[in-house]
Amino acid sequence: MSNHGRVGFHRPPPADVSDDSASDSDNEDLMRETRTSTDIRQLDRKILETEEEAEELLTNKEKDRRLQGLFARKDGPSSGVKLTKRERRRYQREAQRKGKKHPKEEEESELMYDMEEGHKDSSDSAASSDIDRLRLKELPQPVQGRSSRLWKLTAIHIVIVIAFVGLLLGAYKASRTHKSEVRPQSDTLTNGSSIFAPTTILISLDGFRADFLHRNITPSLSAFVQTGVSPEYMSPSFPSVTFPNHFTLVTGLYPEAHGVVGNSFWDPELKEDFFYTDPARSMQPKWWNGEPIWVTAEEQDVRAAIHMWPGSEAHIGIEPTFVDKYKGHELLANKVDRILGLLDLPGPFDKGASSDAPRPQLIAAYVPDVDRDGHLYGPNSTEIRSTISSVDTMLGQLFSGLEQRNLTDIVNIVIVSDHGMATTSTSRLVQLDDIIDMSVIERTDGWPLYGLRPKDESDIEPLYNKLKQEAASMSGFDVYLRDRDMPERYHFSQNDRIAPLWVIPWTGWAIVVKEEFNVEEAKKSGQVYHPRGVHGYDHEHPLMRAIFVARGPAFPHTPGSKVDVFQNIEVYNLVCDSVGVVPKPNNGTLRLPLKPIGLHDFMPPSDMPEDMPEDPPSSESSDQPTSIAQTTASNGTSTEVVETTSLLTQVSRPMIIATDAPVPTRPVIHDDVSQEDEDNNGKDTNLWWDWVMGKLDGAKDWATGLYDTVSDKISGAATESGNNE
């Protein structure tokens, strides 16, 4: 037993691996010879117990290591090193050699320490040193792998965070950019009794020429200019006639883009004619290819009310909340009552607001009076001065109504016109059938300019050459082919509804055919050409200039501010911005806020030419006012009549645009005084009847309002009584 004990605690000097193996073999032989069977069984039992405990410890340790590896990096240099089967056997042999001297608890403690720490001191044995060397060789690989995985995971998380932050910044920047481009007016305002979302009134004065503001007959509109912002004038679009330009005003599109290329035209695809005087045909959505502002507004939950605006009855997309059908001679006072009545409706923030008929944020109203009387009597007649004054009175009543409601600084007002007007004369007519054979022409489009569609397309070139030759030798017109030399600034070529060949009169001239007006016979008899006023010429000619004046919270500029001249394709964007809606793509580029270039001096424009001279009164029309051969110029506070001179010596040959004559397709010619008197009598009768109907409509509205009020009170009283019970 003493020998066994010596063997168990023998510690040989350090040696290489081969010596250690030989020593182990000798010790094992000696131990087998000196042990009894009982010792061997006890030793075997201890070995089995030791193996089971070691296996259990290894299993638990491996589980702990894996769990720790998921959440934290271990501090020990040997973490993650797994013992091989050979190493475990060597540990067991060492435990056997120590078993005689050390108690079981110390043996288990040493074994657990070796398992936990993965090494023993190098002085213990050569086997321990060998294990240390093996572990040191294996150690960097798993540690380096965990570090690499950790950095990969960290890098992935960093990339994800950077990408997410980038998306957030991109979305924020895009939203800021969008807002800066649109710049909508979105703040609500109150007049003390009601809350108003951004609200704009758009009023079109058909045929109101820009220089009409300088005739000392528009005190209300002139005062409005002094408190608002405006250019010196606004240019219409080509052709400068009512229907194309009114649709341009509310779409921001050139006529070639929105498809209403004239007051009358032929569509070769539909094989149908468009006549602006025939609502059954013209008020169909197939003719109107742009999206008007009332559709844009309604799609974005901004309610719209449209009063007689050309095209508003065509059922284009979403219907506006309110639509008033066209009435040719509606009293101006009724228009004021209608607009103010719409503003008096409860808004969405008010008690009693109706979801079916709420207060609109966009009100667009059309006033045809100046255009109508300009055609009948001419732009320099006494009658047109009276009409302009009446329209100005209407505007004054509207401004007063807004002031009474404390809405002057709450509601935006934008006043525009669609074109100007020029005086006609029998001496400025071109007899078209004296130049070309009209029998080869299948149809003509427009007026006063002529779009020609020959029966045979092969005749287009010969007709063009003939007309071009005559235009070079005589005054009054120019000739263009749609697909060859139509001026680019007209934007009048990219649509099949535009005829292939055009005869365009100079400003103040007109194209006629003999079946409508025989020029030679009229000159002999002294017959006066009608209409007395015409538009539809070159949209950049001074006599075709329109107006744009705006005031309100969307136009926070110094009173009387002046901006650069612009074309009417810009109006759509500006009105959209004023009520906070996003406009559809269009040809305009101007956005709010406007950028003034100074203040108006309120003097007549220096480049404004005098109007064309009119025909002298003839014996057959002696009751025509003599003032139509004159123009009125302002001089301080007084008004003097100045003789005019012909524009032919002052203005270069202009490009022309269509016009809207007060007749289906061509102007009505008044052959005698009795016919004109009859027209005037009919007009007076219509005015009286419209006045009566207007009063009846007003009484109906009053009765309806009274009924609704009484019904609400009765309903409220019944509800209160029920609650008390």
Three-state helix/strand/coil letters over 30-78: HHHHHCCHHHHHHHHHHHHHHHHHHHHHHHHHHHHHHHHHHHCCCCCCC
Mean pLDDT of 412-424: 98
**In the structure encoding, which two tokens stand for residue 535, read together?**
């538009």
Give residue-wise pLDDT tens across range 98-143: 554 444 444 444 433 343 344 444 444 444 455 555 554 555 454 4
Q: Which residue has the higher pLDDT, 212 or 78?
A: 212
Residue 169: the pLDDT is 81
Residue 82: the pLDDT is 52
If residue 112 lies in a helix (H) or strand (E), which one and from where to where?
Answer: helix 104-117
Residue 155 pLDDT level (bands cut at 50, 70, 90): confident
**What one-letter code names the amino acid at 711?**
S
User: What is the domain extent for residue 60?
Assistant: 2-138
Residue 298: the pLDDT is 97
**Residue 438 placed within a domain:** yes
Q: Which residue has the higher pLDDT, 199 or 52?
A: 199
Question: Is the torsion defined by CA of 577, 580, 586, 589 positive or negative?
Answer: positive
Residue 351: the pLDDT is 81
**Residue 178 placed within a domain:** no
Rounded to whole angstroms, the Cα distance separating 537 from 658 reads 6
Rounded to whole angstroms, the Cα distance separating 337 from 340 reads 5
From the list 188, 200, 183, the residue with the least C-alpha distance to 575 is 200
Rounded to whole angstroms, the Cα distance separating 233 from 214 reads 12
- 215, 358: one domain: yes
Rounded to whole angstroms, the Cα distance separating 582 from 568 reads 18
What is the CATH number for 636? 3.40.720.10
Q: Which of 157-166, 216-225, 228-237, 714-723 has the lowest mean pLDDT?
A: 714-723
Q: Which of 65-69, 387-391, 431-435 has the lowest mean pLDDT?
A: 65-69
Phi, psi of 701, deg, nearest 5? -65, -40
The highest-confidence range among 156-160, 193-197, 546-550, 676-680, by mean pLDDT, is: 546-550
Q: Which residue has the higher pLDDT, 223 or 605?
A: 223
Residue 99: the pLDDT is 52
Residue 98: the pLDDT is 53
Mean pLDDT of 373-399: 98
- 40, 90: one domain: yes
Residue 31 pLDDT level (bands cut at 50, 70, 90): low
Residue 177: the pLDDT is 46
Residue 3: the pLDDT is 43
Residue 53: the pLDDT is 75
Alpha carbon of 510 to those of 363, 522, 551, 656, 671: distances in Å? 36, 14, 38, 10, 18
Residue 656: the pLDDT is 30
Contact 22, 126 (CB under 8 A): no
Contact 240, 492 (CB under 8 A): no
Phi, psi of 146, deg, nearest 5? -65, -40
First to last CA, the chain: 113
Total of domains in the chain: 3
DSSP H helix total and E strand total for the chain: 19, 25
Mean pLDDT of 338-351: 92
- 714, 583: one domain: no
**Residue 146 placed within a domain:** no
Residue 223: the pLDDT is 97
**Residue 47 placed within a domain:** yes
Mean pLDDT of 330-342: 98
Residue 36 predicted with pLDDT over 90: no
**In the structure encoding, which two tokens stand for residue 77, read together?**
């240099």
User: What is the chain's mean pLDDT, rounded?
Assistant: 77
Alpha carbon of 45 to those of 25, 171, 305, 323, 637: distances in Å? 21, 74, 103, 106, 131
Give residue-wise pLDDT tens across range 628-671: 333 333 333 333 333 333 333 233 333 333 333 333 333 333 33
Q: Which of 8-12, 81-85, 211-215, 708-712 has the lowest mean pLDDT?
A: 8-12
Contact 237, 623 (CB under 8 A): no
What is the number of residues in the chain? 725
* Local structure of residue 676 (DSSP, 8 states): H
User: End of a domain among 138, 170, 203?
Assistant: 138
**What one-letter code names the amino acid at 362?**
L
If residue 391 lies in a helix (H) or strand (E), which one and from where to where?
Answer: helix 382-404
Give residue-wise pLDDT tens across range 671-704: 333 333 334 444 444 444 444 455 455 555 555 5
Contact 480, 631 (CB under 8 A): no
Residue 222: the pLDDT is 97
- 314, 401: one domain: yes
- 196, 95: one domain: no
Beta pairing, strands 477-481 & 501-505:
antiparallel
The half-sphere exposure of 302 on its side-chain side, counting CA atoms within 13 A, is 27
Q: Which residue has the higher pLDDT, 442 or 80?
A: 442
- 325, 409: one domain: yes
Residue 541 predicted with pLDDT over 70: yes
**Residue 459 placed within a domain:** yes
From the list 264, 245, 229, the residue with the least C-alpha distance to 546 is 245
**In the structure encoding, which two tokens stand for residue 126, read together?**
């050569």
**What one-letter code names the amino acid at 293?**
I
The half-sphere exposure of 499 on its side-chain side, counting CA atoms within 13 A, is 29
Residue 90 predicted with pLDDT over 60: yes
Q: Which of 13-17, 75-79, 555-559, 639-643 has the lowest mean pLDDT?
A: 639-643
Mean pLDDT of 358-364: 97
- 118, 261: one domain: no
- 62, 198: one domain: no
From the list 199, 213, 225, the residue with the least C-alpha distance to 339 is 199
- 350, 255: one domain: yes
Alpha carbon of 206 to those of 19, 379, 576: distances in Å? 119, 13, 21
**Residue 144 placed within a domain:** no
Q: Which residue has the higher pLDDT, 609 or 584?
A: 584
In the numeric block, the tokens 């003390």 are attached to 192
In the numeric block, the tokens 């939203």 are attached to 175
- 697, 648: one domain: no
**Residue 168 placed within a domain:** no
Contact 430, 477 (CB under 8 A): yes
Annotate 549-611 with three-state secondary structure.
EEEECCECCCCCEEECCEEHHHHHHHHHHHHCCCCCCCCCCCCCCCCCCEECCCCCCCCCCCC
- 610, 520: one domain: yes
Phi, psi of 723, deg, nearest 5? -70, -40
User: End of a domain among 105, 138, 171?
Assistant: 138
The highest-confidence range among 10-14, 56-60, 168-172, 281-285, by mean pLDDT, is: 281-285
Residue 17: the pLDDT is 43
User: End of a domain among 644, 671, 698?
Assistant: 671
Q: Cis link prior to 531 (omega < 30° from 0)?
A: yes
Mean pLDDT of 472-488: 96
**Residue 143 placed within a domain:** no
Contact 196, 353 (CB under 8 A): no
Catalytically active residues are: 242
Q: Cis link prior to 448 (omega < 30° from 0)?
A: yes
Phi, psi of 151, deg, nearest 5? -65, -35
Residue 11: the pLDDT is 43
- 507, 652: one domain: yes
